[in-house]
A and B are shown apart, each in its own frame.
Chain A
Amino acid sequence: MTEPAPISEAAASADTLEGDLVKRARRGDLKAYDELVKRYQERIYATIYHMTSNHEDANDLAQESFIKAFQALKAFRGGSSFYTWLYRIAVNKTINFLKQRKHKLHFSLNDLDFNTEHNPDLVALISDKTPHRDAGLAELQNKLNEALHKLSEPHRMVVVLHDVQGVSHDEIAEIMDCNIGTVRSRLFYARQQLQGHLAEYLQ
């Protein structure tokens, strides 16, 4: 029988460390909060970026989310993990921002990393469509973002959190303050819509 002791110990110590960092940050220790920001900056930025498809907006909203979280740390009771609580702040901020900016959509897409060209799944999707692979990937990236923006904010958020970020259904329900059934139905509907919008790449 295998024992996952080292992993759970590592996870436990990470939790303890995070708890300690949160306690210190609540007392106003900015060094501790800096550690927490470094821990979650990539995930928070990525979630907001995938929702807005705009690097500048994502940068502003991610910074504002961390600032707001610091200011509200005293109200954090520890009922959920700090990570879930932080996510909730970022998600609410992003959805409010998108509702206000509904008709002023402006993409400012990040570049694709080097590994994209070596991802067999993605290459298979575009290789028979265009002889120029780079152009194909850029076009696909654009189409994908356009398709995502045809979804409502809650549907897009569920897809981004689950299919792009890999967040579990339970955690999404906690982050979005809804039940797990709602998360599943939103995910199903969103994928169905995306399948329709991206049909040319899925044949």
Chain B
Amino acid sequence: MNENENNFEGVRRLLKLKQHEIPPPGYFPGFSDQVISRIRAGEAGGAQTFTERLESVAPWLVTFLQIFETKPGLIGAVATSLCLLLTIGVVMGERTDNASKTILPTAEFASAGASSASITAPPLVAADSTGIVASTNPATSLQPVSTLFGQPNASLFQSASFAPAR
């Protein structure tokens, strides 16, 4: 290390010039007073700023946020990765929905069989006179609603047509 010190003797001598740079006369006698009065003003003002409180509670978080201040490009990278995560979350959510829909018809058949077997089972769907189903259960709301005149018999109806008779 001494060899290094000798190699840079010139630089070290030059740097000594920095020691001769002094603040304006009368600067230091008033310095501590300024600091103390600023502390007093802060105490009278009552409160530390949000950042100051955060610094005392979670200094690691402040350090983390300061990285963003010094490297703005990082904000973009983090924001992009957050957006990607959100998109992946939405896509995964939709896939789960589709999977549950494919399971639904099977569940319907099963429930239909069960309802015919037991008459005492309470009605899951409440339909009013207009035939509108009031239910929040997606499985039951898809079931056919019984009408006032019973199920229409397809054989009794003839399809109407405006085509001239031959």
Contacts and interface: CB of A to CB of B under 8 A. Distances in A.
Given A38-B32, A45-B31, A164 B22 contact: no
B166 interface: no
Interface residues of A, number: 52
B8 A122 contact: no
B31 A41 contact: yes
B119 interface: no
Contact of A115 (B14, B20, B48, B66): B20
A45 B31 CA distance: 10
A41 to B, nearest CB: 5
B164 interface: no
A66 B35 contact: yes
SS class, residues of chain A in contact with chain B: helix
B17 A109 contact: no
B21 A109 contact: yes
Nearest to A169: B1
SS class, residues of chain B in contact with chain A: helix
B19 interface: yes
A34 B94 CA distance: 64
A86 to B, nearest CB: 12
Contacts of B23: 45, 49, 55, 59, 110
Contact of B11 (A30, A37, A119, A194): A194
Nearest to A38: B32
Contact of B35 (A63, A119, A140, A188): A63
A42 B13 CA distance: 22
B47 to A, nearest CB: 11
B56 A72 contact: yes
A188 B4 contact: yes
Interface in B28-84: 28, 31-36, 38-40, 42, 48, 52, 55-56, 66, 69-70
Interface string A36-71: 011001100100011000010001001100111011
Contacts of B16: 119, 121-122, 164
A83 interface: no
Nearest to A50: B18
B101 interface: no
A191 B28 CA distance: 31
B8 A67 contact: no
Given A45-B31, A59-B27, 19 more contacts: A30-B36, A33-B36, A41-B28, A45-B23, A55-B23, A66-B35, A67-B38, A71-B42, A72-B55, A112-B20, A113-B21, A122-B14, A140-B17, A163-B15, A191-B11, A192-B8, A194-B11, A202-B11, A202-B14
Interface of A: 30, 33-34, 37-38, 41-42, 45, 49-50, 55, 59, 62-63, 66-68, 70-72, 75, 96, 99-100, 109-113, 115-116, 119, 121-122, 125, 137, 140-141, 144, 159-160, 163-164, 184, 188, 191-192, 194-195, 198, 201-202
